[in-house]
Structures are given as C-alpha cells and as structure tokens.
C-alpha cells in the first residue's frame, strides 16, 4: 500500500481530518462514472466489477468516461474515452475543475454547508488556462468540456481511480484533484457517489506529521503516512554506514526483490543485512536471499480473511475456513510470530489464568468474564497492551471451535466495531444488549461460511465518519497548491529515452506475485511489451521481435507485440512476471518467466510527498536485437 496509496491517504488526512478516513465509490449505483487510470475489467477493485461495467454499458441512462492512455477493455465499454497523454492527468483534472468553476457549475449548497476554504479553491481554478492544459493532455477541448459539464450536472456522479494516476507523475496531486472533482460537484455522501466507509478491521491508520510528533526514519528522515513507510526508501535505510541503519528485516507476504522499485538496489541492500527472515508460502526471489525462511500455511490451509471490505452504506465480511489440511512443517503466521516472541523472551509460553477465563467465557459469554479478565490483566501488566492481538490469539484462540485460533483477533475487532457503529450493526438485524452485540457479531463471523453483513449505515452517518471536529471537509491543502503552481512549468522529454513505459500493467494472466507456475498462463506467457505499430516502425521493430528495453537503471530483453490500443510514444509491460524457477530438466539451472520490470524502475523517480514510484512513467529506449547481446 505504501507504494501506491499513501499519497491518497495523506490527502484524505488533510481533507477529512485523519488519514484513516478512506473513500469508497458506489459504482454500482452511479449514473455518471469517471474511471481515471484504472482498468477494472482486468483488475476488478470494486465488487462484481465486470457485471457492473456491463450493466452501465447497457443502460442508455448511465454514462461512463474512462481516462487512460490505452484503449483498454474498460475504455472500450465507455461512452467517452479520453485517451490522455501519459503522465498529464494533473493538467486534465485541473482543466476539468477549471471548466466547472469558471462556468459556475459547482454545487454551491453542498459547498457552503459541508466544506471550508472554497474561496481559495475558486481563485486557483478560475486562473487555470483550460485550453492550454487540455492541449498538454493531448485532448480535444469540446470533449473535455462536455465531460466536465455532464459530470457537474449528474445526479449520481462517482469517481473511481487507481494506479494509472497514483503511480504516475504528480501522484499525490492527482489524488487531491480527483477528490476535489467529486467534492465540488457535491457527489459525496449520497447514493451512487463517493463516500467514507467503516471497516471491521481498520487497515489504514493515521500518522501525525513530524511537526506534530509523527515518527520519521533514521537514515532518509521519511515521515510515516497511515502507519506505513514506503518500500521505495528501504534500500537507502539499509545500504549506508549510518549508525542507525536497518540491520535486520522480516519480510512477510511480499516479494520486494521483484515488486519494489530498483531490483538491483534491493539485492545489493539485502546482501548487507545482518538478518533477513522471510515468511512466505513459496520459495521466492526474496526468500532465496534470506538467512531464514519460515514457511507459512496457504490461504486454503488456515482460517483467513480479506480486510479489503470497503463498502458503504452496507458492508460485509467473510471469515474463510480452511479447506485442506496444512502440509509439511508450515504454520499460520500468528503461531510463527507467537513462537518468535516467546523465543525472544517478550511473551510467556502460557497465560494460565486468562486461558481459563477464556474457557469460561466460551461457555457463558453473557457473563462477560473475559473482557473483565482482560482489563484486569492489562491493569496488572500494562506493557502487554501493545500485544493485545497476540494475547487474544494465545488465550481466546485456544477455545474457539474448529481450531479457529487465527480468528481470535476478530473478537476484539467485532467488539470495537459494534461499540463504535452500534446503530449500523443493529440495522443489519443482529441483536444483542450492550456488549452482547459485539459478541454476536463475532459469533456470526465465526459460524456463517458465506460471510455476513456487518453494517447498514445511513448516508447522514458519512458526516460522523469525518474526523475534523467541525465535521466539514477542509478543501485547502497548502502543499497541493504549491504543486499546482509548479504545473505551469513545462516538463521536457528525455531524448536518450524517448518512450514512456508503463511498468506494471494488469492483464488477464498476471496476479501480483501469487501464481508462480508459468504453466498457469494460457496466453501472454512471456509478458510481452505492448507497442503501437507506428512507434515500432520508427525503431525498426517487427511484431513479435525480441527487443532490448533500457531505462537509466538497467536493460532487459523482452518480446514486442503490436497493440493499436496504445497511445503513441507509450509502451507497457505487465506486473507480476519475472519469477525464477527451477528447470525440471536441469535442476541446477534457474529459469526466468517473463520480464523483471523493476530492474528498470528507480526509487528516486517518485512522488515528493509519499515517495510512491512513478511506475507508469518510466522513460525507456527500445532497440531491436540485431546482434547477439549479453543481457
Ligand atoms: N488481473 C489482475 N488484477 C489485479 C492485480 C493483478 O496483478 N492482476 N493486482 C491488484 C492490485 S495490487 C492493484 S493495486 C490493482 C491495480 O489496478 P489498476 O490500477 O486498474 O491496474 P493497472 O493495469 O496497473 O493500471 C490501470 C490503468 O492505468 C493506465 N495508465 C497508465 N498510465 C496512465 C496515466 O498516465 N494516466 C492515466 N489516466 N492512466 C494511466 C493503464 O493504461 C491501465 O489501463 O489491481 C489489482 N487487480
Ligand atoms: N513496476 C511495478 N512494480 C509494482 C507494481 C507495478 O504496477 N509496477 N505494483 C505494485 C503493487 S500495486 C503492489 S500491491 C505490489 C505487490 O507486491 P507484493 O506485496 O510483493 O506481492 P504479492 O503478490 O501481493 O505477494 C507477495 C508474496 O506473498 C506470498 N503469499 C501468498 N499467500 C501468502 C500467505 O498466506 N502467507 C504468506 N506469508 N505469504 C503469502 C506469495 O507467495 C508472494 O511471494 O507490487 C508493486 N510493485
Ligand atoms: Mo496493489
């Protein structure tokens, strides 16, 4: 998340009061949807994506606009495709805001009731030179005007964004502009628009700015956003003589050697670690560098859940039961961490009294003995407070039915959720006096295999979720206004690297780093470089040719495939390839499946605030392979 979404979270912090205020989009009920830098047909990202896109395309009363330099499957389904020049969304979005404000199409009533600072916003966008900015985005002014006007007039306008703007130039600024778009048109806090939402397990936290006591890293001084630090800075935090450099690292459920920017810098830094521990279900490029590999149980072998339940006003949750017995000497992650903590002397092997109280509790929950016991325990041993999830796992976990130990932390989450959003939980039909509502929510999650509805909010409750004490949206963000000023400067293209590479497209056969077996892929087995035939002609490349793709960082060998859907000057490679695997015929030999795109990317080429890498905007050079070249 800290190499894609933290810029977005930072903006939320300023607009809504806390970085944990997270925006969702009610695409399903929208009547004017703008999709910016996302291809939900391929990447999903909202529930029932393909079905909902199909419904919108079929309904003449509903409109969809897609802003993307490639004519993707989602773009093909749209009423309007704005084939923006890569990396120029900040211009386009500024122009759209400019049109709306210059024509007075903003929602005056909404703005005066729910926001502060609109006067300043109005001034900025009144001054925007719309025609110039639309030109820079390579688009037609009339078309952009039509979209701006129609969105401002829509009943249920909704904006859906993703990596195409978050991992491209002006990342954090794009997140600000995209949010201003739905806010100034009043498309917030109602059906079919953008909304804040609640989560059973809040995965996005809040970090204060350093001036207000927020933490920073030792070497690069990077601030925390939403309790995350960006992977982009990790090599610099390790590969240095700084006395407080990072020396030991646990990597869990991630394969940064392939997924973080600048693979070569990552490899070099990881070589320097005193200790690298990898917790994974597969032997990966990262685990091959580790001093210790702790094999975890797969998603099918343990109690597990996705916390990406981001819906409003109704929200759901599903706890998944294991469907096969664990293999080998694997353990579920909570058990791995518990054993590490015991071995470090941070945690006793047993909690005899709390375990006994947990057993009583499981038989007579309405007596509430466990919450009381837990409270007393923390009064006696306050240092354990920060390990509350582990304590739940080690005590309550033991008495859960069906060896559902991993689910113990949900007990705490259910109680907090039911307490905080009591009315929304009651509206689902769930009953329970006082603390029993949380207890019943937990029980339901444990028992109902197809998932449960956890809340039914009202639209008015969106305003309770806002964290500014005045319950208003604070529109002015000084840093963003400086960034808007900078937009006026032209940016130049690099003659040595004339093409722009989108390093990391989502296609039908890539799934992050999950499916390692190359046999899984039915098409695009080698992860081809997509390129417009006119561009290919300029560099003497024929369809299917092997080419060298070089950035300022490295060179990789890839196959070029013609694709007329690409913007001119723009090429793409897929995310989720590049695995090294043992050749069955020659076990000594490691083979590689598809491009390792992050050998080309750089950690310095990134957003100034969140350090999110500009993966969608990597300047490269493409050359046909005419002579045998070592790569
Ligand atoms: N099949 C599949 N689905 C996935 C994943 C997967 O690996 N495979 N990964 C999941 C994850 S982790 C994530 S974060 C999401 C990401 O989901 P998406 O963001 O939807 O996926 P991408 O294909 O990376 O990028 C979306 C679009 O951005 C466009 N784009 C590139 N540059 C620009 C630009 O400058 N401006 C604009 N406006 N658009 C641009 C690309 O052409 C592309 O169509 O997908 C999730 N879903
Ligand atoms: N150039 C470029 N780089 C990118 C992107 C891009 O578009 N372009 N996309 C970025 C984005 S949006 C994302 S989200 C990241 C994703 O990058 P990562 O987070 O590194 O990759 P994942 O595929 O999510 O998961 C990594 C590991 O989790 C392991 N795993 C699967 N299940 C389990 C389990 O139950 N337990 C444990 N312990 N491990 C498990 C898998 O075997 C895999 O090795 O990549 C980022 N990197
Ligand atoms: Mo992602």
580-615 pLDDT, tens per residue?
988 888 888 888 999 999 999 999 999 999 999 999
Instruction: Identify the pLDDT of residue 629.
Output: 52
* Residues lining ligand 1, Cβ inside 6 A: 4, 36-39, 42-45, 67-70, 72, 84, 86-87, 89, 162-165, 168, 502, 504-506, 510-512, 575-576, 616
Point out the ligand nearest to the CA of residue 3: 2
- Average pLDDT for residues 189-213, to the nearest whole number? 96
Q: What does the mean pLDDT of the chain come to?
A: 96
- Average pLDDT for residues 149-172, to the nearest whole number? 98
Residues 459 and 465: their CA atoms lie apart, in Å, by 11
Is the predicted pLDDT of residue 564 greater than 70, yes or no? Answer: yes
Is the CB of residue 259 below 6 angstroms from any atom belonging to ligand 2?
Answer: yes
Instruction: Identify the pLDDT of residue 589.
Output: 85
Give residue-wise pLDDT tens across range 60-80.
999 999 999 999 999 999 999
Residues 65 and 32: their CA atoms lie apart, in Å, by 8
Is the predicted pLDDT of residue 631 greater than 80, yes or no? Answer: no
Pick from 253, 320, 598, 600 the residue to mutate for probing ligand 2's pocket: most ligand atoms within 8 Å of its CB: 253
Instruction: Identify the pLDDT of residue 71.
Output: 98
Give residue 495's pLDDT band: very low, low, confident or very high (50, 70, 90): confident
Instruction: Identify the pLDDT of residue 594.
Output: 95
Angle at 130 between CA 127 and CA 134, to 5 degrees: 145
Instruction: Identify the pLDDT of residue 627.
Output: 53
Residues 526 and 578: their CA atoms lie apart, in Å, by 9
The structural domains of the chain, ordered by start, are 6-200+464-483 (3.40.228.10), 206-296 (no CATH), 314-456 (no CATH), 493-630 (2.40.40.20)
Is the predicted pLDDT of residue 457 greater than 80, yes or no? Answer: yes
Cβ atoms 68, 99 nearer than 8 A: no
Point out the ligand nearest to the CA of residue 612: 2
Give residue 140's pLDDT band: very low, low, confident or very high (50, 70, 90): very high
Q: What percent of the chain has pLDDT over 70?
A: 99
* Listed range (369-373, 384-388, 489-493, 498-502) with the worst mean pLDDT: 489-493
Q: Does an H or E element contain 360, and which?
A: helix 352-363
Instruction: Identify the pLDDT of residue 588.
Output: 84
Instruction: Identify the pLDDT of residue 22.
Output: 97
Å from CA of 1 to ligand 3 middle: 6
Is the CB of residue 506 below 6 angstroms from any atom belonging to ligand 2?
Answer: no
Give residue 628's pLDDT band: very low, low, confident or very high (50, 70, 90): low
Is the predicted pLDDT of residue 475 greater than 80, yes or no? Answer: yes
Q: Which atom of ligand 2 is nearest to the CA of 618?
A: 1
Is the predicted pLDDT of residue 491 greater than 80, yes or no? Answer: no
> Which residues, at least 6 apart from 186, have a Cβ–Cβ distance to it below 8 Å?
106, 107, 109, 110, 111
> Which residues, at least 6 apart from 492, have a Cβ–Cβ distance to it below 8 Å?
none
**Which tokens belong to 414?**
């259910």
């Amino acid at each position: 998340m800290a190499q894609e979404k933290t810029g977005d979270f930072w903006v939320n912090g300023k607009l809504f009061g806390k970085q944990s205020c997270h925006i969702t989009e009610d695409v399903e009920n929208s009547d004017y949807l703008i999709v910016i830098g996302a291809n939900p047909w391929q990447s999903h990202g909202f529930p029932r994506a393909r079905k909902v896109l199909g419904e919108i395309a079929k309904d003449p009363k509903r409109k969809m606009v897609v802003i993307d330099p490639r004519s993707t499957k989602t773009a093909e389904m749209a009423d309007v495709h704005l084939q923006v020049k890569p990396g120029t969304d900040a211009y386009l979005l500024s122009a759209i805001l400019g049109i709306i404000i210059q024509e007075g199409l903003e929602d005056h009533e909404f703005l005066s009731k729910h926001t502060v600072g609109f006067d300043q916003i109005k001034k900025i966008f009144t001054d925007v030179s719309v025609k110039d900015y639309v030109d820079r985005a390579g688009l037609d002014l009339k078309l952009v005007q039509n979209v701006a006007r129609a969105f401002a007039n829509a009943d249920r306008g909704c904006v859906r964004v993703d990596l195409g703007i978050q991992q491209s130039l002006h990342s954090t600024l794009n997140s600000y502009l995209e949010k201003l778009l739905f806010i100034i048109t009043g498309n917030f806090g109602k059906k079919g628009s953008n909304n804040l939402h609640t989560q059973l397990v809040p995965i996005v936290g809040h970090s204060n700015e350093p001036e207000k006591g927020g933490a920073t890293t030792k070497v690069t001084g990077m601030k925390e956003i939403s309790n995350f630090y960006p992977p982009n800075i990790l090599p610099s935090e390790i590969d240095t003589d700084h006395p407080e450099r990072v020396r030991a690292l646990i990597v869990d459920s991630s394969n940064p050697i392939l997924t973080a920017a600048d693979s070569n810098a990552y490899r070099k830094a990881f070589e320097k670690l005193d200790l690298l521990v990898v917790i994974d279900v597969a032997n990966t490029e990262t685990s091959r560098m580790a001093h210790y590999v702790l094999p975890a149980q797969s998603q099918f072998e343990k109690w597990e859940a996705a916390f990406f339940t981001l819906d409003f006003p109704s929200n759901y949750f599903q706890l998944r039961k294991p469907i096969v017995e664990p293999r080998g000497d694997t353990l579920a992650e909570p058990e791995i961490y518990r054993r590490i903590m015991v071995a470090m002397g941070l945690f006793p092997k047993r909690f005899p009294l709390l375990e006994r109280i947990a057993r009583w509790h499981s038989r007579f929950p309405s007596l509430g003995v466990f919450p009381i016991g837990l409270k007393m325990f923390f009064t006696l041993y306050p240092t354990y407070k920060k390990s509350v999830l582990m304590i739940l796992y080690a005590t309550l976990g033991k008495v859960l039915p069906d060896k559902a130990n991993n689910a113990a932390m949900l007990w705490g989450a259910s109680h907090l959720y039911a307490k905080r959003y009591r009315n929304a939980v009651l509206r689902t039909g769930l009953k329970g006096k006082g603390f029993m509502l949380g207890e019943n929510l937990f029980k339901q999650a444990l028992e109902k295999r197809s998932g449960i509805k956890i809340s039914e909010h009202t639209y008015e409750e969106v305003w309770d979720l806002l964290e500014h004490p005045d319950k208003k949206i604070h529109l002015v963000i000084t840093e963003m206004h400086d960034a808007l000023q900078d937009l006026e400067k032209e940016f130049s293209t690099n003659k040595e690297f004339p093409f722009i590479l989108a390093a990391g497209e989502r296609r039908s056969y890539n799934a992050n780093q999950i499916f390692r077996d190359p046999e899984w892929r039915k098409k695009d087995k080698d992860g081809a470089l997509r390129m417009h035939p006119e561009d290919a002609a300029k560099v003497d490349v024929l369809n299917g040719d092997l080419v060298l793709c070089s950035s300022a960082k490295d060179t990789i060998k890839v196959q070029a495939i013609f694709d007329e859907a690409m913007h001119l000057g723009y090429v793409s490679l897929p995310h989720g390839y590049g695995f090294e695997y043992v050749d069955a015929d020659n076990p000594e030999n490691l083979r590689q499946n598809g491009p390792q795109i992050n050998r080309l990317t750089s950690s310095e080429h990134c957003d100034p605030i969140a350090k999110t890498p500009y993966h969608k905007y990597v300047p490269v050079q493409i050359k046909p392979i005419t002579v045998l070249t070592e790569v």
